[in-house]
Amino acid sequence: MKLKYGMIGGGNGAFIGDVHRRGAFLGGYANLVCGCFTRNPQKNQEAAQQWGVEDPSRVYKNYQEMAEAESQREDGIDFVAITTPNDTHYDIARLFLEKGIHVICDKPVTSTLEQAKDLKRIAQEKNLCFGVTYSYFGYAMVHQAREMIEAGKIGKIVYVTTEYPQDWLLLNLRDEETRKKMWRIDPARARGSLCTVDIGTHLEALIHAATGLTITKVLARFDYTVDDIPLETNSNVMLQLSNGASGNLWSSIVAVGQDADVRIRIYGTEGSLEWYHGKPGLLKYARLGEPVQYLAMNRDYNGADSLSMSHLPAGHPEGYYEAFGNIYERFCKDVIARQEGATEKKYDYPDIDYGIHGVRFVDACVESNEKGNVWITL
């Protein structure tokens, strides 16, 4: 436990706060020592206690106070984890960066592209790490795909299709109280996108993590399937990728019966790869004219990058917490490297560039849809 960190957000019952906490712990590199978990003072203290913050004076009433106090302490935090609603990320992140504190933040990193670029600028100036927790980056077999692609195992990529169907919106709408708390469906806070910014963006990052390619053009069509929500709840995006290949990206928060069923299929001239969140420890691999194979996590035949993200013997499931743990582990190692003198990123994890591209992707989709489903260049 070489690092100390604090958390902003996470105390209002959203599951993602606990995911950050568990993820930060798993690798054994970071200890939670302070936080501002919610603006409700009592819940703030409760969350702190539950999560092992030992010193009550390090439970802060707002993030500004925390940034100020922690940056002054000799034993102040090494980094801050930001798990608040999307439209608050920028102000918080900027302040901590300015105080010289490394930042790891939930996605999307900011509301506007300018904000994201601004954060990048500050982080660079101050030689600080900036992680963005695109969760699916953290799965070992996503990296196995990447390693196999780079080794030429599927030839040249010609087509990528990825999807994230889910039904959380419909479930949550059934309860009036839950609905009221959903800041995501408030058009004023949403900047023109609900489904795409919430989960479509995960797929954008996943394509990059799994293939190394980036999206260069989009043609998006948004579907508005819930009567009184003027934001898209289902989203289809045709893609052009940086190597000239085509792609397709579908996300939905109204797909009844689907449970975070993230899937990516990558087709090359000689083979294909498929990864599915429902069985995250497997990677399907086919070569033209040969039997389909399923690679299992943490078997010897996997690549070094994939193995570095695998902890249990094959067949013992690792899941979402462990994926987060893998991202946190690399982020922490990078923070340590900077503390030991590094002046650039030494470990591979989703950083502010992932964040910038994520914002740009959503912006382009919104624009494409508004203009009548035309191609927009990123």
Residue with tokens 């087709």: 267
Structure-block tokens of residue 173 = 């709408």
What is the Cα gyration radius of the chain? Answer: 20
**Nearest CA to 297 among 134, 137, 143, 133?**
143
- Cβ closer to a second copy: 5 or 51? 51
Q: How far is the CB of 148 from a second copy (least distance, A)?
A: 11
- Cβ closer to a second copy: 110 or 247? 247
- Cβ closer to a second copy: 26 or 97? 26
Structure-block tokens of residue 264 = 């990516």
Q: How far is the CB of 123 from a second copy (least distance, A)?
A: 28
Sheet holding 3-8, edge to edge: 30-36, 3-8, 79-82, 102-105, 130-132
What does the buried/exposed string (b/e) look like for 260-287 if buried means 16 or more CB atoms within 10 Å of the residue's CB? bbbbbbbbbeebbbbbbbeebbbbbbbe
Backbone angles phi, psi at 31, to 5 degrees: -120, 130
Q: How far is the CB of 358 from a second copy (least distance, A)?
A: 20
- Cβ closer to a second copy: 71 or 246? 246
- Cβ closer to a second copy: 48 or 97? 48
Is residue 148 within 8 Å of residue 273, measured between CB atoms?
Answer: yes
Say how far apart CA 293 and CA 230 lie, in whole Å: 44
Q: How far is the CB of 2 from a second copy (least distance, A)?
A: 9
Q: How far is the CB of 159 from a second copy (least distance, A)?
A: 5
